């Protein structure tokens, strides 16, 4: 089991997650919150990025300044709901490439089914962050990381908004090398595989499909 699980406790993130949970929150507000929280989380997730020193001239003097010296980033949203988090991360990494993994969860079996996978050609050389608001049984996250490892990706992180203990166990045991970040660790799954208390169906709430 991977011990590398971070549950964020920043009050701004916690507050925004609470707003998302409210069933009266509109799709517009919900989408904005997903984007904002993803940006706030990514800020922390990438706090250890390496820096290197370069020489520049300010208008006043020559100076040694520090700039990022990390591998390029690829953001990989799990469709559909992961799309909502992507723009938040792109605000921080405007040059990141974006790969898409399309998975939907069968309502009866809860098993993930692939319908799309398009990744940047150089994905194996990139630092990859897989994003999906919900980690429920963990089946979709495990399948997405399987695709990335099949493409030789070595440096993968997983970021979600709400996780169930079941999903954390599944992802951590299938991929113990993948650090996992979530904004809330909820109680459990219900008999339909929904996170309790959760926020309902993230894709439907982002895109207003129900």
- 156-186: b (≥16 Cβ within 10 Å) or e: bbbbbbbbbebbbebbbebbeebbbbbbbbb
Instruction: Based on the shown chain and the rule CB under 6 A, indicate whether residue 139 belongs to the binding site for ligand PRP.
Output: yes
Count of residues that bind ligand PRP according to CB under 6 A: 23
Q: Which does 85 bind (CB under 5 to 8 A by kind): ligand PRP, ligand URA, none?
A: none
Contact 120, 149 (CB under 8 A): no
Among 13, 17, 81, 130, binds ligand PRP (CB under 6 A): 81
Instruction: Based on the shown chain and the rule CB under 6 A, indicate whether residue 163 belongs to the binding site for ligand PRP.
Output: no
Instruction: Based on the shown chain and the rule CB under 6 A, indicate whether residue 134 belongs to the binding site for ligand PRP.
Output: yes
- 47-69: b (≥16 Cβ within 10 Å) or e: eeeeeeeeeeeeeeeeeeeeeee
Q: Of 46 and 194, which has the nearer Cβ to ligand URA?
A: 194
Q: Which does 138 bind (CB under 5 to 8 A by kind): ligand PRP, ligand URA, none?
A: ligand PRP
Angle at 135 between CA 108 and CA 9, to 5 degrees: 150
| Window 61-80: contact mask with ligand PRP (x via CB under 6 A) | -----------------x-x
Q: Which does 195 bind (CB under 5 to 8 A by kind): ligand URA, ligand PRP, none?
A: ligand URA
Instruction: Based on the shown chain and the rule CB under 6 A, indicate whether residue 105 belongs to the binding site for ligand PRP.
Output: yes
Q: Of 96 and 199, which has the nearer Cβ to ligand URA?
A: 199
Instruction: Based on the shown chain and the rule CB under 6 A, indicate whether residue 137 belongs to the binding site for ligand PRP.
Output: yes
Closest C-alpha among 147, 103, 143 to residue 123? 147
Residues that bind ligand PRP (CB under 6 A): 78, 80-81, 103-105, 110, 112, 132-141, 167, 193, 201-203
């Amino acid at each position: 089991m991977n011990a590398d699980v971070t549950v964020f406790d920043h009050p701004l993130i916690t507050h925004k997650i609470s707003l998302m949970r409210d069933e009266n929150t509109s799709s517009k507000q919900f989408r904005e919150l997903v984007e904002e929280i993803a940006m706030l989380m990514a800020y922390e997730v990438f706090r250890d990025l390496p820096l290197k020193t370069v020489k520049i001239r300010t208008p006043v003097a020559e100076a040694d300044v520090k700039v990022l010296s990390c591998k390029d980033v690829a953001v990989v949203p799990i469709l559909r709901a992961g799309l909502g988090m992507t723009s938040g991360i792109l605000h921080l990494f405007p040059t990141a490439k974006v790969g898409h993994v399309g998975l939907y969860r069968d309502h009866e079996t809860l098993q993930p089914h692939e319908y799309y996978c398009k990744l940047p050609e150089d994905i194996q050389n990139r630092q990859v962050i897989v994003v999906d608001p919900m980690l429920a049984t963990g089946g979709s996250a495990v399948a997405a990381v399987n695709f990335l490892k099949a493409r030789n990706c070595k440096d993968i992180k997983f970021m979600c908004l709400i996780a169930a203990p079941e999903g954390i166990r599944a992802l951590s045991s299938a991929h113990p090398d993948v650090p996992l970040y979530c904004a809330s660790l909820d109680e459990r799954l219900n008999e339909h595989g929904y996170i309790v208390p959760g926020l309902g169906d993230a894709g439907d709430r982002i895109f207003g499909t129900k």
